[in-house]
Structure 1
Amino acid sequence: MSEIRSLSESDEAWLHDKDPRTWSRAHFSIRCQSDLLLNNNSEYFNKIILEARDKLILTMLEIIRRKVMTRLVFMREVAEKYPGPLCPRIQKKLSEIVSQSNNIWPVYAGNKKYEVDCRFGNKHVVDLFKSSCSCRKWDLSGIPCKHTVSCMQVLAVSLETYVNTCYTVTTKLNIYSYLINPVKGPMQWEHVRDMEPILPPIIRRPTGRPKQTRMKEVDEVRKSGPKLSKTRQQASYTKCGKPGHNTRTFKGIVGANQMASQSSSLQILNQATSMDNTSSQPPLTQQSSNLTTNFRAKLPFKRKSVL
């Protein structure tokens, strides 16, 4: 906590308000045989049911039942192919711990207790009878730590016998031995007669696009980075590029060329009409044709004739 206080006093105060059994391995319970701070099981389950979350109740349950049914069969078939008594990941982790225990010297103290010297004044107490070590790694995870492995190498015993039974292949086969039986389709289901029919709920579709992912907490890491706040920021209108207005409040014509062309066209039109009014009045058809010819001749750009 003193190291955290040196980095940030606010973080240290925030941790003081939390229960240490939820975030500190020093206060974890040894009953669960796990030292993880993650919720990978919940995250994995939320991912596999992503397809079924927005379906109706029966359809959602049928999709989840089929996914769990195939998952149980797959895990059991994989567990039957394991060569050793332990699961492959636990066996690999145990071999890494054996390589880390080369520079550790245990001293026997009687009653299956050892004093393990790790050099530089660092010592730990190992109790093989209680399956415990003062570093708490063996107590939390159920896998012998490097201090315990050094004691077992002196005794020349098998390391797999001191690993908790939850990591053995036999336990995994027992877990996946209870399979889900297949079910007939909805058309073959028996109809219940002594019960009032349950009507489906009224579907109220909310506004916007339906969400596919769950809402994350404020302090949870996002893949796309933190969302920046737009408070006290002045936005610009995309068409004219100027701040202070939007599509609804904008009063004007977008683009300087269009404004100049329209103003010059209106000016030429006014001059043409005033000149025609002061001159002698020709017939109505000739007057309209002359007005159109004069107006086109004085425009700043040329137009192609339709004919």
Structure 2
Amino acid sequence: MSEMRSLSKSAEAWLHGKNPRTWSRAHFSTKHKSDLLLNNNSECFNKIILEARDKPILTMLEIIRRKVMTRLVSMREAAEKYPGPLCPRIQKKLSEIVNQSNNVWQVYAGNEKYEVNCGLGNKYVVDLLNSSCSCRKWDFSGIPRKHAISCMQLLAVSPETYVNTCYIVTTQLNIYSHLINPVKGPIQWEHAKDMEPILPPMIRTPLGRPKQTRRKEVDEARKSGPKLNKTGQQANYTKCGKTGHNKRTCKGIFGGTQMANQSSSLQILNQATSMDNTASQPFLSQQSSNLLANFRAKLPFKRKSVLWTNIISFWKSCLIMLTIVRLYILS
């Protein structure tokens, strides 16, 4: 907080008005075994229902029900294929932590408590009985860290036995053991008799293309970054290499090298024609004629627009048809 105060006093005052349990890791609750600060469940759910968000209410609910029903089945079948007692990602993370626990020293203090020395005055207190460590990482995530695993290795105990039960395969099977029963089609539904009909809401079609993505908050991070304003910026057309115009208003030749070559040839031609008549006049006249021929050969051919060509040909054909009809009537 002192470092933040030196950077911005307004940010420090804003954080003081918030509950520390919502933003400070030192005040987080250890009841929920997760060390993430992201709301991934809501993000994944919003991604899944993207197809159903713009549908009518019954169609939307049916799509969401079917997706949740198939999701429960797929997760239950995946949990049944797990080989070990832990979930695969947790088992991989635990194996990496075990490899990092070789450079610490532990001292037994009694009652399953240890003092772990990590060097340079870093010491941590590990309580295997309460599954706690002073670094608080084990308390948050439910996965023992290298300080606690070194103590488990001293006791020749498997670290998998100290992992929280939420990461065990049997817990995952119990979570996905429930199912959503299938539902008959809308044609076979029973109609309520003693009920007033529910009229559909008034449909108001706003201007523009309908949005498919979720409306984000002001302080929420965006993937594409903030939208910048182009007011006051100078346009730059990359094909001709000049600024101040775009493709529609460009009057040059594509590729700046061709325009530069033509301008240099024109300068040489002017210099050759402006020289005095000397003994080498035939040679200069021949050189200037060659430059003039090359310059005319490099001039761009102005093609007519395809649209105007089609319009002119259409009107010509109409005039011919009218002339033929008139001659036929007069005859």
Which TM-score applies when normalising by structure 1?
A: 0.73
- Report the alpha carbon displacement of residue 82 of structure 1 after superposing the two structures with TM: 0.2
- Report the alpha carbon displacement of residue 224 of structure 1 after superposing the two structures with TM: 1.8
2:198 aligned partner, one-letter code: I
- Report the alpha carbon displacement of residue 63 of structure 1 after superposing the two structures with TM: 0.5
SS in 2 for 1:217: coil
Q: Which residue of 1 aligns with 2:30?
A: 30
**TM-aligned CA distance change 1:112 to 1:199, over 3 Å:** same
User: How far apart in 1 are the matches of 2:77 and 2:4?
Assistant: 47
Matched, 1:117 2:111: no
Deviations 1:189-225 (A, max 9, x none): 1112222222222222222221111122222222222
1:214 aligned partner, one-letter code: R
- Report the alpha carbon displacement of residue 20 of structure 1 after superposing the two structures with TM: 1.8
Identity value in percent: 78
Q: Which residue of 1 aligns with 2:156?
A: 156
2:160 aligned partner, one-letter code: E
User: How far apart in 2 are the matches of 1:111 and 1:142?
Assistant: 21
Q: 4+ residue runs of structure 1 moved beyond 6 angstroms?
A: none
User: How far apart in 2 are the matches of 1:123 and 1:235?
Assistant: 57
1:14-163 equivalences under 5 Å are 14-163=14-163
Which TM-score applies when normalising by structure 2?
A: 0.68
- Report the alpha carbon displacement of residue 227 of structure 1 after superposing the two structures with TM: 1.4
Deviations 1:143-166 (A, max 9, x none): 111111010000001111100000
1:235-250 equivalences under 5 Å are none
Which segment drifts farther, 207-216 or 55-64? 207-216
1:73 aligned partner, one-letter code: V
Which segment drifts farther, 90-99 or 192-201? 192-201
Deviations 1:96-124 (A, max 9, x none): 11111101111110111111111111101
**TM-aligned CA distance change 1:148 to 1:235, over 3 Å:** closer
Computed over aligned residues only, the root mean square deviation of the Cα atoms, in angstroms, reads 2.7
- Report the alpha carbon displacement of residue 2 of structure 1 after superposing the two structures with TM: 2.9
User: How far apart in 2 are the matches of 1:77 and 1:175?
Assistant: 12
Which segment drifts farther, 93-102 or 209-218? 209-218
> How many residues of Structure 1 are paired with residues of Structure 2 in the alignment?
244
- 5+ residue gaps, structure 1, are 243-253, 257-303
The structure whose residues are more often helix, as a share, is 2
2:150 aligned partner, one-letter code: S
**TM-aligned CA distance change 1:48 to 1:255, over 3 Å:** closer
1:161 aligned partner, one-letter code: T
- Report the alpha carbon displacement of residue 133 of structure 1 after superposing the two structures with TM: 0.7
